[in-house]
Amino acid sequence: METVSAEVHKRRWLIIGIILIGSWVGTLGNSMLPVALPTIVQDFEVSLDLGVWVISIYTLLIAVLMPIYGWLSDRYGYRRLYVITLVGLGVSFGLAALATSFWGLIGTRALQALFNAATLPAVMGIISMIFPKEERGVAMGAWATVNGAAHGFGPVISGALVENFGWQSIFVMNAAVTLVGAFLVFLVIPADHKETRRPFDFVGAFTLTAAMLVLMFVLSRGGYLGWGSPLTIGLWVGVVTLLSLFIFTERRVAQPFIELSLFRNARYVSIVAISSAQFFCLMGLPVLLSIFLIEVHHYSSSAAGLLIAPLASTLAISSPFGGRFADRVGFRFSILIGMAMVAIAAFTMLFWSAEVSPWVIVPTLILAGIGMGLTQSQAATGVTFVTRKSELGIALGVFNMFRFISGTFSATTFGILLEQAGGSSSASLSAIHLGFGVVVAAACIAVILATSSAHIRISEPSIP
């Protein structure tokens, strides 16, 4: 970790409050849109299949661009890049509110993703720069809390704004908050001066970004296109070809976009795999639970939403405590306990019948949420301990990219399972139970990885 002044150390909790404004707004930029989507589709007179790209384009581009911003952060500093991209994000939110056509709105959403992709690498990098090792778990827990709260409150805020002021108001609000956040980051966050300058490996960056973009597209739209269609098969061939070109390039250039030695770092790869498994569970469970509660249990949509809410809310509330726990006992142990709790919770879901009581559902989801809270931010913190300072930005970018890919793969996997089940309640229940079994397997894989990986503790010296 870079040495920080005593004055900066004293202001570290103010600093994290300010940098998390970007996380809050960036997450709201996604979580507010589903509620506004019906109104947007109606106003622009487009189909729902087309309208959903207002949401999809944002997620796709953020995921694939994070490694590039991680590289730029390593070379030019977290603060500088964060201020620039927050200003761009605020302006693009404002442009979205002024959009007069559907494709104009899609364009502004792409711009929002372009700028917001810098947020996660910058926030996590600044935390690693400002906070000492013994407090970094709590700081990352604060990030997880803000992120979870934005996911939970986004639909509520969006509903009130859209109903009273129209869908444009969600972008106006986000623009104002983002620009204020950019000013505060510029004012309060200390500059981090980078000593190295390296040429940008355009071929490596392009082939990796293009491969991940095509992969995300196939995972999210493969069911609609048809998994056996010539187009889908061609896209898979494209993914393999681009990844092969990426590896070929990175092995031969003097200063690659990503040092392939990063993927030979067993502890880093283990943390990425654990986090991907956790995000797979986190993104998949709401899909399964929604269908179970509405189609099998015959709850209303609003009642189902209330029953599912403890999963995300418990994650948000427990994350800071999970960070403090990890700071004391070590990150591997925290992750191991957390994913074991997720596995136990999902295992109990295998025995849920169509008549299962809410008094069983809610405690089970609370257990899963606490387990997620012991894992999510701790995995991110672990990355800051097992990678070199000079490659931390790119390591965080790749780490978060794989989280997003895993979440997309999760939604696709469970969507296929449920689609194959047909319309009957009994078939749906069997498919849902199979899905819960997949969640158990993913959580158990994370537990095994946490058990077998090197012990990651706060007492370890930083990698220079």
The top-scoring range by mean pLDDT among 85-99, 212-226, 247-261 is 85-99
pLDDT band at 454 (very low <50, low <70, confident <90, very high): very low
Distance CA 16, CA 22 (A): 11
- Percent of the chain surpassing pLDDT 90: 19
The mean of the pLDDT values for the chain is: 82
Q: What DSSP character marks residue 462?
A: P
pLDDT at 375: 84
Domain presence at residue 460: no
- 130 and 155 both lie in a single domain: yes
Average pLDDT of span 136-147 = 79
pLDDT band at 1 (very low <50, low <70, confident <90, very high): very low
- 195 and 210 both lie in a single domain: no
- 177 and 219 both lie in a single domain: no
Average pLDDT of span 296-311 = 77
- How many structural domains compose the chain? 3
pLDDT band at 462 (very low <50, low <70, confident <90, very high): very low
Distance CA 122, CA 89 (A): 14
**Among candidate residues 199, 226, 242, the one where a domain is terminated:** 199
**Among candidate residues 155, 171, 199, the one where a domain is terminated:** 199
- 225 and 331 both lie in a single domain: no
- Above 80 in pLDDT, residue 453? no
Domain presence at residue 237: yes
- 86 and 164 both lie in a single domain: yes
Domain presence at residue 461: no
Average pLDDT of span 80-94 = 92
- 13 and 156 both lie in a single domain: yes
- 13 and 80 both lie in a single domain: yes
- 269 and 148 both lie in a single domain: no
Within a 10 A sphere around the Cβ of 144, how many other Cβ atoms? 25
Domain presence at residue 52: yes
CATH number, position 378: 1.20.1250.20
Average pLDDT of span 237-266 = 87
**SS3 of the chain: helix, strand, coil, percent, to 5:** 85, 0, 15
Measured N-to-C along each axis, helices 12-31 and 119-130 cross at an angle, to the nearest 10 degrees, of 160
- 187 and 233 both lie in a single domain: no
- Above 90 in pLDDT, residue 177? yes
- 53 and 147 both lie in a single domain: yes
- Above 80 in pLDDT, residue 52? no
- 343 and 284 both lie in a single domain: yes
- Above 60 in pLDDT, residue 461? no
Range(s) of the domain holding residue 247: 201-256
- Above 60 in pLDDT, residue 223? yes
Domain presence at residue 93: yes
Domain presence at residue 358: yes
* Whether 55 contacts 33, CB under 8 Å: yes
Residue, of 208 and 37, whose pLDDT is higher: 208
Average pLDDT of span 148-171 = 82
* Length reported for the chain: 464
Condensed to tens digits (0 to 9), the pLDDT of residues 185-220 reads 888 887 776 556 677 788 888 998 899 888 888 887
Average pLDDT of span 338-360 = 90
pLDDT band at 301 (very low <50, low <70, confident <90, very high): low
- 35 and 123 both lie in a single domain: yes
Domain presence at residue 464: no
* Whether 394 contacts 118, CB under 8 Å: no
pLDDT band at 458 (very low <50, low <70, confident <90, very high): very low
Domain presence at residue 457: no
Looking at 70-74, 167-171, 232-236, which range is the least confident one? 70-74
**Encoding tokens for residue 176?**
């104002």
For 33-80, the DSSP string reads HHHHHHHHHHHHT--HHHHTHHHHHHHHHHHHHHHHHHHHHHHH-HHH
Average pLDDT of span 152-157 = 76
pTM score of the predicted model: 0.79
Residue, of 341 and 151, whose pLDDT is higher: 341
